[in-house]
Amino acid sequence: MLAVNAADYPWLILVPRRAGASEIADLGADAFPLMAEIALVSLTLKDVTQCDKINVAALGNMVPQLHVHIVARCKTDPLWPNSVFGAPPPRADDAQVFARFVATMREKLGAVEPA
């Protein structure tokens, strides 16, 4: 799992370990454990950030390898209620704040690496 440094939108990316997969359907039955992971990561991210809404997306128009964005959105964030997808690149947070976020998520979820 990757963490994007986005100050206003705490942002994780799940990357199923399946070479050549670009669509969710490419996973076959392994789409089910991916769904379980989406739900778990969503709940944990919501709990940690106290956000208002989780946004989940598998787009992959730019990076073909299947990956799932899980983004914490708050009604007070700069883009709310618009999409962070298609918006300009997010503002990075202070490196220490981001490192703390990664450490917290890693403690709760296991392997989380800065993107």
User: Nearer Cβ to a copy of itself, position 17 or 96?
Assistant: 17
Measured from the CB of residue 94, what is the shortest distance to a copy of itself in angstroms?
26
Decide if residue 36 touches a copy of itself (CB under 8 A): yes
Nearest to 77 by CA among 109, 55, 108: 55
> Do 10 and 92 touch, CB atoms closer than 8 A?
no
Q: Coil, strand, or helix at residue 52?
A: coil
CA distance 68 to 13: 5
Alpha-carbon 32 to chain mean position: 18
Count of residues that bind a copy of itself according to CB under 8 A: 36
Q: Is 95 in the site for a copy of itself (CB under 8 A)?
A: no
| 4-33 positions binding a copy of itself, by CB under 8 A | 22-25, 27, 31-32
Q: For binding to a copy of itself (CB under 8 A), which residues are involved?
A: 22-25, 27, 31-32, 34-36, 38-40, 42-43, 46, 53-62, 73, 79-87
